[in-house]
Structure 1
Amino acid sequence: MDGLDAKGKPYNRPMLIAILLVGTFCTVLNQTILATAFPTLMNEFDVTTSTVQWLTTGFMLVNGILIPVSAWLSSRVNTKWLYIGAIGIFELGTVLAFIAPNFGVLLTARLVQAVGVGVTMPLLQTIMLSIFPPEKRGASMGLAGLVIGLAPAIGPTLSGWVIDNASWRDLFGMIIPLVGIVFVASFWFMKPVIKTHKSKIDVLSLILSTIGFGGLLYGFSTVGDNGWGSTSVLSFLVVGVIFIGLFIWRQLTMENPFLELRVFASQEYTIAAVLSSIVNMAMIGVEMILPMYLQIVRGDSAFESGLTLLAGALMMGIMSPLTGRLFDIYGAKKLATGGMFLLTLGTIPFIFLTKDTPTLYITVMYAVRMFGISMVMMPTTTSGMNALPANLMGHGTAVNNTARQIASSIVTAVMISVLTNVTTAALPAKSMLKSAPLDYKTKAIDATLSGYHAAFIIAVGFCVVGLGFSFFLKSKQQVLKNGGNK
């Protein structure tokens, strides 16, 4: 027994943390578990690329809408029952996906899963911040980073192996028993560790949040298919921005806001949130573009492209707990600056990829990038949260995760758009197909590579901006001089 819960009763902290980590790993893994399964699902259900993409787009939409709500839920609902409810909903969605007889049922199952993920991911961070004192939060958030960073990173490799060796249904089938064990164990080991108070949900804020974040995320997620000039894309983006503006205005004028945006009054929190979003953009953007390069330009299989990313995913898994402990010793600034430098250094070589670039070289450079990301992601998040009082932890986590979700959608849209537009502009005239087919093939590959080079230049740009922001974080000495973070 390692602590007292919100009701003053002792509880087993190691077991509570284990339940949290295993359960959240299973839920977050589902963000990228279908990464290499789309071609298989398109054949299985006879659907187009734009249709199958909804399995990820819809998942991200529901996820993004639920995350802001999680702050209110964690302050209103007993932690134990909130986590059990979220894991139960996720398990229901996973079983539904496993037995899905058609695409409509599979899509519905993914949306149900997303409800569970939208609650468990921010709840993990809020609980870890609540049950540890500030001087030990680095190590605890390092464990959270192991889940939040490693699960999406390992998804494409695992997905490729399952698709090549079993059925797509096994992607869901292998998760069902694990989540079932977590669900049952939660009745004994999950405890109400966050203090709650009665508060009514502001329905208008919920509506504004849903339309605003939903519209913005949908708009960005459809740019790849429809282009920036599409009326539907622009309409959703405009509606999203307007409703988010109204949502922000309402939160700042309410006595008890639905989502406390005053967390941005803390400079340390704001810089940390920006850095966390930028590093997430750098990670998600390359995680999405690199497998496409490996499969389309080099002709690698889904599993081979996943294996190339595996070393980076393992690097993230190994380093997250270590960087958490280093944060407790050295603070965020040194880690973040060093990490952003490594991330920038590891991304620049991708601008010069050719169709013959050695796989080992790509694997090593990708691992260097992930090493840098592990030094930045959770240490900066912890630094930002430490700057907030305990009663704002849930809101700070929700705001940070919402920003990261939007950032992920933006980088996906921007990089796919740049890749597509540059490739199309550089393609040779179709008349060459008849007059000089071999030259056409060579120039078409060069055009495709130009698109990837341009997309990676964007990724480097994000890294450089993040490196600049890292210098504004407070050093360990400054934090101690100011009396420590709250």
Structure 2
Amino acid sequence: MSAEPSASASGGRTPTVIRVLVLATFVVILNETIMINAIPRLMADLEVTERAAQWVSTAFMLTMAAVIPTTGWFLQRVSTRRAYLVAMGVFITGTALSAVAPTFAVLLIGRIVQAGGTAVMMPLLMTTLMTVVPEHDRGRVMGNVTLAISVAPAMGPVISGLVLQIGSWRWLFVLVLPIAGVIAWLGMRRLENVGEPQAGEIDWASVVLAAFGFGGLVYGLSKFETGNLTGPALIIAAGAALIAAFVFRQLRLQRTGTPLLDLRVLLSGTYTKALVLMSVAFMAMLGSMILLPLYLQNLRGLSPLETGLLVMPGGLGMGLLGPTVGRLFDRFGGRVLVIPGAIGIAVALAGFTQISMDMPYWQLLALHVVLMVSMAVTFTPVFTLGLGALPQHLYSHGSSMLGTLQQVAAAFGTALVVTVMSARSTGLVADGADAVAAHLDGMRLAFLVCAAFALIVIVVAVLLPSRAAAPEGSDEFEAVAPELAKG
């Protein structure tokens, strides 16, 4: 997709195409987290074990990791409208299938189909935003995007908690269907094509390598647990080997100009630093998001709905602050936001290492709000700086790589904190410690690991520039590509 920034975007208004895509992205991301509280109901209604029921989330994550690497190629080959209609059509199909699923296997297939549509939507939104919005206004518009994509995950568990108190888990899909249908119809009426599709055949070998490589890596990470390390380690090693083969194939394909995922995005130092920062921050954030509900429900005895209400203010604060952060970025640049934001993330996670059985809820709420607000102050500028440093024809590939590594980072962060927590608590129980005290100590150590990741975020934040103007051309990228391909 190549187009000049829209003139309408420069007048302080968000382009219609971005508003439509934000609405659609809000719905699909809301759906990604809305099943969190439904696991017990699924176990009872569909007669499956807890480990099996967890696959409604694991399969979603696996599919995202497998599909996102192909979206860079896909978004360059089809029009904006077609990409949107494919994404929403696939998502709606998966939602309808999940709503009427007679068995758990059918529900799982529905979730996989849903994830296929979701995987396209976020890169489509980011690529279109970077294309139609001029550089001086990107922070403000990206801030509005942050509002939608941050509030949705925060609302998912709360909405599901409310729905499950009065109805079946099927209503979690039934209620989404008409909303998704209206947004798809709105997109058909209001969405305009951005840029012209490019010709090029898809390399199916790359598709297979990406699907099994990234999917295998995420699957292996999701299976890590104390006492079961060998099997997941072998799966991770196999996934890593396939990813290495995928990388070498992309470097070779760059000679012909049709790689599935163009690795020339990594030639931009600013983009690469942003990629590292976002990946490490996601490890820390997702790790803490797994630990906090476990602490609140398993140790403090809160219900899923009460847990959702406790963490909702942080998510809402993150989203509502997005537009303000965007305007500050446009005016002052990134460093004045990213560095304090990174420090805030580290401080909040360090605070969570002090959790106890009688820590006041207001302190937990305050720490979570600080964490989420710090994420907002960090993520919006980093997204904008990273993608803004790329040539326009690499926006879709930059978005795809960022989305892929976020899925891998989420899986890695989750696996790491759960393994650390379990290993620590199991060891303490074996030494004769009280089970509750051992579990609590394991959680403290896992939060400490997240805080250590946050220190890396601070270091990378210091290295980021305040602004990164997009390259005027792609000569530098084209000149270095043949040398990369020889490797």
Aligned equivalent of 1:230: 230
Cα distance, 1:111–1:273 mapped onto 2, change above 3 Å = same
Verify: 1:451 aligned to 2:442, yes or no. yes
Query: Match of 2:353, SS?
Result: helix
Aligned equivalent of 2:424: 422
Return the offset for 1:150. Answer: 2.5
Cα distance, 1:309–1:243 mapped onto 2, change above 3 Å = same
Alignment root-mean-square deviation, CA: 2.3
Return the offset for 1:69. Answer: 0.7
Query: Match of 1:30, SS?
Result: helix
Aligned-residue identity in percent: 35
CA contact (8 A) 1:312 1:370 kept: yes
Aligned equivalent of 1:390: 392
Query: Match of 2:261, SS?
Result: coil
Aligned mates of 1:485, 1:170 — CA distance in 2: 50
Match among 374, 377, 386 for residue 375 of structure 1: 377
1:18-167 equivalence runs, <5 A: 18-167=19-168
Query: Match of 2:399, SS?
Result: helix
1:223-372 equivalence runs, <5 A: 223-224=224-225, 227=227, 229-231=229-231, 233-254=232-253, 255=255, 256=257, 257-372=259-374
Aligned equivalent of 1:437: none
Aligned mates of 2:25, 2:204 — CA distance in 1: 28
Aligned equivalent of 2:483: none
Cα distance, 1:322–1:247 mapped onto 2, change above 3 Å = same
Aligned mates of 2:19, 2:7 — CA distance in 1: 19
Aligned mates of 2:57, 2:309 — CA distance in 1: 21
Cα distance, 1:454–1:484 mapped onto 2, change above 3 Å = farther
Q: Deviations over 1:125-177 (max 9, x none)?
A: 11111110111111122222223332223322222222223321121122111
Aligned mates of 2:174, 2:15 — CA distance in 1: 28
Aligned mates of 1:266, 1:459 — CA distance in 2: 28
Aligned mates of 1:195, 1:274 — CA distance in 2: 31
Matched to 2:229, the amino acid is: G
Cα distance, 1:374–1:227 mapped onto 2, change above 3 Å = farther
Matched to 1:333, the amino acid is: R
Query: Match of 1:37, SS?
Result: helix
- When structure 1 is superposed on structure 2, of 142-151 and 61-70 the one drifting more is 142-151
Aligned equivalent of 1:462: 453
Aligned equivalent of 2:480: none
| Ranges of 4+ aligned residues in structure 1 off by more than 3 Å | 8-15, 482-486
Match among 439, 463, 483 for residue 472 of structure 1: 463
Cα distance, 1:405–1:194 mapped onto 2, change above 3 Å = farther
Matched to 1:230, the amino acid is: T
CA contact (8 A) 1:320 1:378 kept: yes
How high is the TM-score relative to the length of structure 1?
A: 0.91
Aligned equivalent of 2:181: 180
Query: Match of 2:169, SS?
Result: coil
Return the offset for 1:263. Answer: 0.9
Query: Match of 1:411, SS?
Result: helix
Aligned mates of 1:483, 1:130 — CA distance in 2: 13
What are the ranges of 5 or more consecutive residues in structure 1 without an aligned counterpart?
431-439
CA contact (8 A) 2:14 2:141 kept: no
Matched to 1:216, the amino acid is: L
Query: Match of 1:31, SS?
Result: helix
Aligned mates of 1:77, 1:412 — CA distance in 2: 35
What are the ranges of 5 or more consecutive residues in structure 2 without an aligned counterpart?
475-487
Aligned mates of 2:119, 2:435 — CA distance in 1: 41
Aligned mates of 1:429, 1:40 — CA distance in 2: 36
Return the offset for 1:30. Answer: 2.2
Return the offset for 1:228. Answer: 5.3
Aligned mates of 1:275, 1:485 — CA distance in 2: 26
Aligned equivalent of 1:433: none
CA contact (8 A) 2:389 2:471 kept: no
Cα distance, 1:399–1:389 mapped onto 2, change above 3 Å = same
Aligned mates of 1:39, 1:116 — CA distance in 2: 26
